[in-house]
Structures are given as C-alpha cells and as structure tokens.
Structure 1
Amino acid sequence: MKILYHHRTRSKDGQSVHIDEMIAAMRDLGHEVIVVAPAGAEQTSFGSDGKFVPWLKRHVPKVGYELMEFAYSLIAYRDLVKAVKLHKPDCLYERYNLFLPAGIWLKRKYNLPMLLEINSPIFEERSRYDGLSLKRLARWSQHFAWNAADFVLPVTQVMAEIVQSYGVPANRMMVIHNGINTREFENVADNNAVKSSLGLNNKLVLGFTGFVRDWHGLDKVIDMIATDPHDSGRHLMVVGDGPARRSLEQQAQALNVGHRVSFTGIVGRDKIPEYVSAFDIALQPAVVAYASPLKLLEYLALGKAIVAPAQPNIQELLQDQHNAVLFDPAEADGLPNAIERLCADAKLRQYVGKNASATISSKQLTWKSNAERVVYLFERLCRHA
C-alpha cells in the first residue's frame, strides 16, 4: 500500500517523535510512505522548535500570522497534488493542525481514503493560551477537518469526546494512544549500572523527562527533598530543559539542596531509555486533560514505579496501586504524598513497576501496533472506496 503522510510540524520534540515513529512503523510493515511536510523540517535538531516560525510569532501581528498559516495550505495543497501525480498513493494520513484544510481538499479532489490523527484541540488551546484573532476561521477550519476526514484518530478517549462535541460520530473514530518502539528499550543498562555512571550510587532517584514548565509542579518535589535529613539519599533528576529550569535550580540552591537536584539539559532521543533506567520513581506530575504523554509510555516500558495524577486520560492506562500510584491533582500535597508512599515502600515500588512493564504488551502500546491499526482502517476504507 502507498500511504501519503502529511504534516505541518517543524519542531523536533514529542510531536516529531510521533511522526517519525509512525512513518517508520508503517514502512516496517512493508508499506511505502510518501511524506509531504514543511521544507527544512528534517534538518531541525532534536529539542528545537526551529527558528523561523518562532521569529514570525514574535514579530508578525496575530492576524497576519494566522493569515500566513491559512495561506500555507495553498502551498501544502500544491505539494500534495504533486505527490499524488508522481506517486499515485492509495490513501492519505494527516496529522491535524489548525488552519490546514489542504488534506481535505486533496481527499475530495482525488477521492483518497483519509485518516486524521488528532493530538489536541488546537483551536481551544490557542484561544486559551496564545489568543486567536481569526477565531471564526480557526474554529471553522477545525470543524471542517474533523468532520470531513473518513476516520479520526484521537490519542485518548478524553480527546475523542472533544471531537464528538464537534459532531463527529463515535463510529468514525478510533482512539490510538501514543506508543513506544520496543527496539529502543531493549538491552538498556540496569538501574544500578546507570546510576553508577551518573555518580548517583546509593541514591533513590526521582526522575522526570521532558520540557520543564512551571505547572509541572517539580517545585513541590524540591520542597519535599528540602525537608529530608542532611544525609538523605533522595535525588531529583530532570532529563530535559525548559522555561522552569532556572527557577527550579534557584529554588534548590536557596534551600541548600542544589547537590540533590540535577538537570541534564536536552538529551538525544537515543539516550532517553538509559537515563530513565536510572529512575527509581518516575514522575508524571501534571498533564493536560486530553494528552497521551510520551514520557508515560517510556516509564511503563522500563517498568518504573510511576507517580501520576488521577485524571481520566491518565486512568485510561494507569490503575492506582496496580501499575502506578495516583494522586488527586486538586490536593496541594497530593504529589509529594504519593512520592512519599513509594519512597517508604520498596515492595510497592517493585510491584507497580512489574505491572507497569506488562502494561505495554497488555494494551499493545507500541508504534508497530498503532501502525497495524492504521493499516487495518485504510484497508477497510479502500475496500469501500
């Protein structure tokens, strides 16, 4: 099968991991994948959001930037038409973005079966956090894309319910959570070996991976560590970077626990499993209500004792006292109390870690399984085209 894959993502972060892994998984299944994407997207380094788009956002008024986004659809449509004429694909897979009707235009012109992957309600996100000038056009573009695709693929059931609120029936949806590439998690050095290489021998490592933001709540973890006896072995390791890093480092220094908090900075994708292996307790302290966090899948794959909020999208994968310890995110002390429980109970850490590892296979949380679901839907659509 020839699959035309379309996206408008230039940043090299969790979004690009999803894109790259899905393309690779479909190719591994023997399918040809033709990619249409913004020029230069492949040259961006991991952890970067590129330079051109952030520059535009800073210097171009919102209305101008949004008009440029919509106008890009004409460029994307031109490139998609070229790809269709050259490769004659059987179907179209698109990663949803706002102000991007190009894929729907192509689907309708060439009668291509189309799947639309939906990771977030971008209209609502940008309205809330960034502000939108062309709200009516933005909402129309979201409604148009979600309803015109043959099938939509929300990443959680919570996201699916948002999509349904736009009038998309449940029988045109399949929830597909993020996954992992099992090959990347094979032959990873064990916990003690990695700790030794990082100078963390005899430490109880509380670990976090990803882009660090203020709302993640890692300040509460530092406050908790600061109440420990001077010779405590608890250590917070943050694998990643982000806008909250500086304030967290300053907080740790002010509380005299700077030596017990470490930041790796941006780490290449190939090094993530090794760093996560050093964790004794893996932290998912906060997450947006509809997301399928990549870090959570990585924690599960390596059998870590996970602390995470008890909210619906997380509970689609985690069960309290089974494969994680969950806390009420509305409680101020919920996160530190959950961490304390795991720190004090080695048997509980071992139990939930073992069940965490089994969750990947029991729920088929791999990119290969996701690609198989996608191919199944395409084959179904193609038979009825």
Structure 2
Amino acid sequence: MTRVAYLCADPGVPVFGTKGSSVHVQEIVRAWRGTGADVTVYCARRGTDRPADLADLDVVEVPPNSAPAGAAREQAIENAALALVDEVLHRGCGLVYERYSLFSPALSVLAPVLDIPSVLEVNAPLIEEQQRYRQLVDVKKAETVLRRNAGTADVVACVSEPVVRWVRERLPAARTVLVPNGVNVHRITARQPGRRNPDHLTVAFVGTLKPWHGVPGLLHGVALANALTPDPACRWRVLVIGDGPGREDLERLAATLGVEAEFTGAVPPDAVSGLLDRADAAAAPYPAGVVGQDDYFSPLKVYEYMAAALPIIASAVGQIPSILEPGRTGILVPPGEPAAVAEALTRLAADPALRERLGSSARADAAQRFSWDGVLARITRSLPPVRRVVA
C-alpha cells in the first residue's frame, strides 16, 4: 500500500470547503484512496464542510501565523509549509503530492530527503494571479520556490497547455505532463429528462462570483433572450450556485435588467448535483481577455454540467473547445458576446429534443473521458519507471 502525503499549503484553499479548488483537492484524494493508497492530507486550512465519505481522512493542519498582508504574510505561509514538512518527516510517506502554492518549498525539501516519488500539481500561474488580483511582495522568492519544486518533482502535472508553457518558461527541463481536470460522475448524477417547471426555463451557473467568470454576460444574454420570446413559458430565469465578492453587483444588475435570478450562496460540493437537477441548461460564459492572453483554466463547472446531463452554453476559450463538441455536447459562443448567449438560449428554449440530446451526450463523455480516476492514472503513468507506483 502506497502511503501518500498530499500537501496544500495555500491558506486560500480549504480542504473541506465550497470552492472549486476544494473540490479538486477532495477528488484527487478520493482517486488516490480508490487505488488503495493510504492518504494523509497536510494543509494550511482544513475547512469545515467535510463530506461523509472523507470522514475518516487523516488531516494535519498548520495554519500560518496571523499576518494581515505583505512580506510578513508571505513569510508566515513559508513557515507554515515548513512546519508541515516536519509533520511529514515525523510520520513518513512513500510518495509526496503537492498542490502548488506560493512560498511552499515542501516538495523540494521532502522528496530528496526521503528519496521518494513526487508530483507537483500546478493549477494556475499563481505568481501573475497574485500580482494582478492581490499583492505579491517577494516576487524573486516566489519564482525561486516554483523552480526548485518543479525541478525536484518527478512529474509536474499541469491542467492546461498555457500552464505547461508557464512552468517551462521558468524551468525548461521540468518534467511536465498535461492533465486537465475531471468530474466525479457518482457525486454529480444525471438529471432526469424533461422540463423542470412549465412556467419558465432555468439556466444554471456554478462558481465563485468573480469578474473572470462572466456572469454579467449571462444576465445580459438572458435579458436579450427574454425580450425576444413571445411565449412566457420559454422565458429564462437564472440559478447562480456559488458566492463571491461580485454577488451584490450581480444581484443589482439582475434587478436592473428585469431578470429573475436566484443566488444560493456558497454550498457544499455534495449539494451541487441536487441544485443542477433544477436546471434546464447551464452556462460557462467566460468573457474575453480577463485573465490574460492565454486562458489557462481547466473548468470544473463544465465537467460538472456534463455529468449532470445538462445542455451547455460555453464561451469558446481555453480548453472548452477541446472538451465540448459543438452541436453534440454543447453550444459554443464567442467570449463576451451576450447576443450570442441569447441566441443559444432561444435555440434551446424552442427545441426540447435538442436540450435532451446535448445533455445525454455530455453525460456520456463525462463518464467515458473525464473521470478523476483517469486524471490520476495519467499522472502516475508519467512517473519514471523506477519511481512508478501502482495506481
């Protein structure tokens, strides 16, 4: 039995939380446990929404010392990561798997000392993200930590081609492998066919309410679609599953546009499937150029919509065109164009058979192509033969 030390030293990622990053942590842990591995999670933030199937998961938490921001906060994160290293060294393990976090040198310390296989999972260009959306004081240290971890890791698992390029720009010799995200088709179950409400249609959005998710474009698209629909039963309402700093602005915008919108707030991952079952379609309305020239994300929400057997309207950016096949598993629209969203909504409203056909095909693809077990298998197969583990 492989003893896996899963490390996440990012205090912004609660292991048991409602964020997409929290879902990612939990699903990779489930995939490891599914191979028979004994997993211990070492983290900066445990969180409070522990799923029942992870009730027995061993979790070691070392939160950073309180520091409001700036250099002191960055040093506190590094110190907490090193304290987690001490915990791993004390308990021992046979493989170290670290979710890349700013200022955590854990993998580069542990793997050589223990002489064990190691995986660095990189989900985003965190250095640029931190500079753009928050604050990054010690850029040099952040770059150095990344290069050391990536240079030590037997595999650097990257969620998208832009992330692969971002790592290789800093360390051309890094042993990168492209591994997009996945979905748990047992957690997100297939929606039953048919309308959810005879009086209206519902389009769902799942995610954190931040600018780069494009919810304003969805609201504008719904308003345009509704304005062109003579049949009240074919008008759309919006179900927003998630929370974030943009919620109040979005609520005001929906009211201004006359769009009926329900905001659920943050919900535990186990509640998402039931909420999606109330929808007739789902949207991933990413705008153009919010994050940067390259859209680096691997959208968990799209995989979840597929598993829920929902027809999907999604912006043709980043990985989405490689995930959804237009006309078979979804409808692709140009990013940042509410009129195109409105056209897609109008098409779906008028064609119930299309809604069911798209949803059914999407569910089949989710099960066959995008399981988390498959994600982990691609990572472990990329370990050098002398480092390979059974998975």
Question: Which bin holds the TM-score, normalised by the shorter protein?
Answer: 0.7 to 0.9
After TM superposition, the structure 1 = structure 2 runs for residues 109-258 of structure 1, keeping only pairs within 5 Å, are 109-169=113-173, 172-186=175-189, 190=192, 192=194, 195=196, 200-226=197-223, 227=227, 228=229, 231-232=232-233, 233-257=235-259
The alignment partner of 1:380 has SS state of coil
Q: Root-mean-square deviation (CA), in Å?
A: 2.9
Letter in 1 for 2:207: G
Q: CA offset at residue 78 of structure 1?
A: 1.3
Counterpart position of 1:49? none
Match in the other structure for 1:319 = 325
Offset from partner CA, 1:143-185 (integer Å, 9 cap, x none): 2222221111111223222222223447x22222222222223
Q: Does the alignment pair 1:350 with 2:356?
A: yes
Q: Give 5+ residue unaligned stretches, structure 1.
A: 47-51
| CA deviation string 1:77-124 (max 9, x = no partner) | 21121122xxxx222111111111122111111211111111111111
Q: Which residue of 1 aligns with 2:59?
A: none
Task: Give the alignment of 1:1-385 within 5 angstroms.
Answer: 1-9=2-10, 10-11=13-14, 12=17, 13-38=19-44, 41-43=46-48, 56=66, 60-84=68-92, 89-169=93-173, 172-186=175-189, 190=192, 192=194, 195=196, 200-226=197-223, 227=227, 228=229, 231-232=232-233, 233-257=235-259, 260-286=260-286, 289-329=295-335, 331=337, 333-363=339-369, 365-378=370-383, 380-382=385-387
More helix by share: 1
Distance in 2 of aligned mates of 1:204 and 1:15: 30
Q: Which amino acid aligns with 2:208?
A: F
Q: How many Å apart are 1:379 and its aligned residue?
A: 7.7
Measure, in 1, the Cα distance between the counterparts of 2:162 and 2:23. Answer: 22
Q: Is the 8 A contact 1:192 1:278 kept in 2?
A: no
Contact 2:4 2:95 in 1 (8 A): yes
SS at match of 2:31: helix
Return the alpha-carbon distance in structure 2 between the equivalents of residues 130 and 178 of structure 1: 25
> Following the alignment from structure 1 to structure 2, what is the Cα–Cα distance between the partners of residues 312 and 191?
30
Amino acid at match of 2:82: L
Judge which range, 175-184 or 292-301, deviates more.
175-184
Distance change (3 Å), C-alpha of 1:102 and 1:173: same
Measured after TM superposition, the shift of residue 378 of structure 1 is 4.9
What's the offset of the Cα at 1:230?
8.6
Q: Is the 8 A contact 2:217 2:337 kept in 1?
A: no
Distance 1:282 1:55 in 2: 41
Tell me the TM-score normalised to structure 1 length: 0.84
User: Structure 2 unaligned runs (5+)?
Assistant: 52-61
Q: Is the 8 A contact 1:14 1:294 kept in 2?
A: yes
Q: Is the 8 A contact 1:214 1:243 kept in 2?
A: no
Residue by residue over 1:276-312, the C-alpha shift from the partner in whole angstroms, topping out at 9 and shown as x without a partner, is 1222221001175111121111111122111111123
